[in-house]
Structure 1
Amino acid sequence: MWAIQLHRIGFEMVGLWPKSNKRIKKNLSEIWAFIIFILLIFFCNIPMICAVVQVWGNMVFVIKHLQTTLPLLIASIKYVIIRRKQTVLLSIINMMAEDWITFKQDKERNVMIKRAQTARSIMMIGYVLMVIAALTITILPCFGISVIDAANLTGVHKPLPLTPYHFYNTDKSPQFELTFFIHSLTTLLAGTIYMCVDIFLVLTVLHICGQLENFRYRLINLISYKNYNKVLNDIVRTHLRLIRYLIAVNFYKNLLDFMWAVNLHRFGFEMMGLWPKSNKSNKKNLVSEIWVGIIFVLLVFISNIPMMCAVIQVWGNMIFVINNLQTTLPLLIASVKYAIIRRKKTVLLSIVNTMAEDWATCKLDRERDVMVKRARTARLIMMIGYVLVMMTFLTVTILSCFGIQITYVTNSTDRRKFLPLATYNFYDINKSPQFELTFFIHSVTILLATTIYMSVDIFLILIILHICGQLENFRFRLINLISCKNFNKVLNNIVATHLRLIRFVDNIESTYSLMMLVLVFHFGIVFCLRGFLFTIIFVDRKIIKDKAIIAQGYFSILIIIILLMNTLLYCGAGELVTDQVSQTHNK
């Protein structure tokens, strides 16, 4: 307790100290952790990021705001990571407790005390620095001295500890007093988190260094012990504990690499309820199923059916039909993709598990570098996909807010207000709140549909790039097979890897074969429709003067870019696999 007392105070103050029991105290700790999270995110990070956005363009003000925004943002990230790793943190603390409880010689105990004293001294220095920083930031504004010189965005006359963008007047009372108190509390908590998390790492590192020093001492004096067998048994057991610890650290590191490789793709899939989960008995699965049902209703009954009805309404006029189909077909394809991926959840789970096993397996640095390189490419493509999704979403929704209709359709329902989607509505959308609700539902549907459309395709690229990396590593092992000493074992591993790769490719084919067949027809039809509209827009000189038509032209260009990107992804995926298989076969 003495060795970790100072560190425990800081961790318990911010709700980070792990507890093995599940009593009321743990529930209170969870509530306190939630309050801290709210303070950090909604009272600190978001308002301060808004302040940075407000002064964007003035380099001096941006830098002044970032000097406080970034540390507080990092403190929030540290807090989230440590909260998520409570189980691992508990195992580390239990291991340290076992090391202190275990019987040891005076020399070994002195080594551990020396390391603990060093960690305590560093922790004391950390507390002193934290208190000085907190007092400086909070006390000086009480005397009208602003510690952080930043832009006065909201015209406040009373200085506050932090410089966020407030959506209310902080000069009035009691708004000022409450805001000042919240800022002071948030600063104290963020400083504690920032300091304690780092110094706890120092504590664990010093502890393991002490254990290694004691382990070395036992090895040196092994021969001089009378009870040789018992001491040797203890040494072996300690060595195995250290090995298990290092293996766990290595496995955890590989798991972090896997999470890094798939986190962007997982974010999109989880937002759509498509990320597979192995546990089917928890409440989260029920919530996920409800969310999937909501998405399905939005796609089918709010988007697809009303848009098909709109196509039927204008049937006979080729221009209007093409105008409607250019948005109806992509949303329909998004629904088809969603249904296919939902049906293939089991196969998708096996694909994800295989990828996780590949990352968790012990590998050479060269093999890991190949996998990291492929993962970076997939992450870059996913980032581009998210950018295109947001551009499409903002283009459709924002222009509609300014009365610019992206899709030119007939006014079949006598509408006077523009909506993001060209649907046939069975009610009067000109009234309020029908219009606002419909606009919101259309916007949400567009965001969901575009995310599904892009995420499903780019997830294929992720698994294709992963299989290419595995094939490259497989080829490397084949080349170096003869030079390996344990030939039979390596050959056995190569055969097992080959069978796993075959199963992996079969799962990919099972998931995406039908989807690719549908998309081949989709790409051809939509390219023709977009090309036809694009030609009409830019050939007719009179049309170019119309702002709405110009907006439709830009939107057509954006959709063509997305379609070209998707076509390139599917074609490139096949070429990559073919190339890797050919190279492996030639070797």
Structure 2
Amino acid sequence: MISLFVCIPQNIKLFMTWGDIDKTAKILSLTDISTTLVTFKMIHLWDAKKKLKPLIFHIRQDWTNSKPENERKLMTHFARKCRNVSLLYVFLSQSTFVFYTAQQIFVAIMEGKTNLTNVTRETYVVSYFPYDLNKSPNFQLSWLMQCISIAFGNIAFATIDSFFAILVLHICGQLRVLRQRVLKCVEEPSGEFRKWKLQNKVSLIVRRHDYLNNCIDIVEDTFNMIFLVQLSGFIVTFCVQGYILILPLVALISEDWRNSKTEKERIIMLNMARTARKISLICVFLSQGTVIFHTAGEMYFTITDRFNEYANQTRRTYIISHFPYDTKNSPNFELTWFSQFLATILATITYAGVHGFFAVLVMHLCAQFAILRYRLIDAIHKIVTKTEKKEFRDEYAAIIRRHQLLNRCVEIIEDAFNMLFLAEILTCSIQFCLQGYQLSIMTGNHEEPLPIVLLIVMVTFLMYMLVLFYIYCYVAEELRYQSTEIVFAAYSCEWYELPSKEANNLLLLMQRAKTPSTLTAGKFCNLSLQLFNKILKTSAGYLSVLLTMTNKEDI
């Protein structure tokens, strides 16, 4: 039922709208990925039911067998955890279903009231059906069947996750019980030691431990593919949801460029756009330069290792990693090396693209704040030169609304990027420290020849990280500066020539604009050039500690 009314129609609609990224993101962000995941989960668990039946039987047997009071308390404790997890899954899934259903009902009612002649009649989820949905009862039946399918899918999704939690937490409880048995295996209740019982108790504990390990293997074999597919689906969903979150801001940028503007306003936007383009090119150049130097170094190492007749071939992979197979044999080595190479290229493109996109968004907002400052000065100049008061009031109201819109855009960027920057700061601090440590070790070892290629790669990578970290600190500093310049523009203009009522109105704008628009790293600290200096100082301090410890070990 889920496949017939939701999965297949949605995937057909997804294929039909593949060229339109907005419609594609809308389909992927709602139920397409979730329903596909739950369908895969049900099929996979149905295929693994023979393996799970003995495990379920033993769980029931664990509860029916007589046990000491302390062991039963442990099992009850973990059973309560299972119940809480299950209730949480059910509450979240059904709350999502209820809110989404209420939203769709409200949208359907409002569309019917506002457009009585041409009602489009959107289905419960965006789908394609080979019949006319605008006719009754086609629309009502399709809407109802999709609603029921989503409800069943929600129940199945929460049930499968709860079932996994029950299995794992029951095994955790049995391991805790086994731990207590190990602690008491050599003592009788009276405290006397009995050697003749020790062997039997240890034998029972070992067999029980083997049985629990077999249960873990069953759970692993059953759920590992489910978690791989679910993790991939969640990653795609998070990316699409992030795109939808940023989408209004992108639409605003497009609208700003389409609207008519004065020559000075267009010059301001072009200057900021050129700065954003330079930042994007720097990000791409440094990221790809790092990949090129690293690839050249690894190819040089592989070639020299291949023709080295006096030593064993190490066949080092593109990135030092562990794989559950022998990477020294062909074609394992070649395929692994090439796959890591492609993954690194995609990762660096994504990394540079995210930073370039952030720079484009923030620099556009900086341009809009600068234009707003120019419009304020121009509006005050007009009223001073005897322009009508009504035009100034209209322009001033438009400036206030525009300022509020820009502040909301800053909040969108803050909500979308703050956790990313928190992780970035932590990783950059560690990488600066480790890269500096590696460079000092390489240059300080006079017994071996200096690895020029590796040195170039490390210096390029260090410059790449430094420049990227500096870029988003600089961009955030520029946003902070441009947002507060409105206050100085209002103060430095000819406000003393204004009537008292208009001059008092400026105080409201100045009061709001004196609070700078800042971007934070996880709400912990503001991104600024001062933060850049602090991170460098902190990394240098960690580096000095590492070098001091290394020197003490050498002594």
Larger radius of gyration: 2
TM-score under structure 2 normalisation? 0.41
What is the TM-score of this pair, normalised by structure 1? 0.39
